[in-house]
Structure 1
Amino acid sequence: MKTATVLRHVQFEDLGSLQSVLEGAGYTVTYRNIGDDDFLSFDPLALDLLVVLGGPIGVYEEEVYPFLGPEKALIAKRLAGNKPTLGICLGAQLIAAASGAQVFTSGVKEIGFAPLSLTTAGLAGPLRHLDGVSVLHWHGDTYDLPAGAEHLASSALVQQQAFALGKTILGLQFHAEVDARSGFERWLVGHAHELASVGIDIPALRRDAERHGGALVEASTRLFREWLAALESP
């Protein structure tokens, strides 16, 4: 069995639809949860895949959240070894920071379902499965494109939405993994303060989740399967 370790910063932001894709591809999945003693106590080069999930904090808040420094250092070791790594939202920002790029406030809160605009490189790879599909955006920060990375996608509000470093490193600013057909209520409750602070219409967001959830799961399943399969190719 192949091993996939998942760094989880918020309990309800889990692998979502990616869980079954990983298991179907022969991975044994292990979560490492922020606050637990074993969160970063493993050899970052010894596992087949590292997945870094999202969370409502900024990569640049090391003084407030000291674990961010060691977490970025661990990810940097993966990048230096060109080891398969997937980052989602905060995870993508951590990969960008670990590669030397700047992460900063975007000036907007992009929350809700909206389609992507894929670059030529994005259309040529696994992200093409998301073409025309509304994905879940939920962030206020962005990043500079890491040196040597391919820019894969933008949105109407934020230019940097996805990047790849070779075929083994993928950063997704948006949430392709969320299964909005089930468990989405945990997001709405868990982020209730943030949603209220920016005036998000929660019933409308819930309706959008019901409307777009099925198509997003189908498209993201194809995306993740293709990306994982490419890791196995010579």
Structure 2
Amino acid sequence: MTATTPRVNGGERKRTNGERNSGCNWAYDAARLVERTHAPSASAAPTPTVFRISWLIVAPASRYADGMALTLTQLRQTLGDMDAPELRDLIVTLYRASADNKRQLAALLEGDHSGLLYRLETELEKAFRTSGRLPTMKVGRAKKALTAYLKVAAPADALDAELRYVEAGVLCLHAYGDWPENNYSSMEGVFEAALKRAATLDHNDIPFKRLERLVSNAGGFGYGFSDQIAFLYDEFLEKLEEPED
């Protein structure tokens, strides 16, 4: 099959000022919380931990509009300088900041992924539902929920989630016939990532029938979408047949 040129995915949009200050991403919040905690003005007197932590919550997001956000290296260095009570207060503050943070911390600290999976299912339903209210056909929130779940899921569970994302999109396409063009790129990107993940599994654990059914169901759509899905799967099968070094 002739390959079509994959479209360049523009990636997720930058967070707005309101989103930056909403606490919707626990790592983002942590970096900024630590920076504000340990970088008061030279003339400022030392402040109690609780006060310094609450400082983040009320401070405007414009502080980071100039691209001077804390780097991962700086975050690690600063966390290393914090004592146990400060770290506990920081985590508690992040936990209280948003429901997303609570789900992420539950997955990381307790191994409970159910909240993240439920969030993914909810966002897929909103974006791609085929009955009842019309779907939003906006992939941003569903993609964000998928990304959060993939960070903590086991390989087989992560593959299942990625395929569910694409399957839901294809069902929506069948129901409504078309959608915004960028959604095609999103589906292609997630499917490609799913195939790369599948290639890391034991051969007996790869859901070939499910993949073949998905490729078949994705046929007949425009913008090169169907051809690209088929091409990606053909390429995946060819790589599996290549002898190992």
TM-score normalized with structure 1 length? 0.26
Q: Which has the larger radius of gyration?
A: 2
Q: Larger helix proportion, structure 1 or 2?
A: 2
Query: Normalized per residue, which structure has more strand?
Result: 1
TM-score (norm 2): 0.25
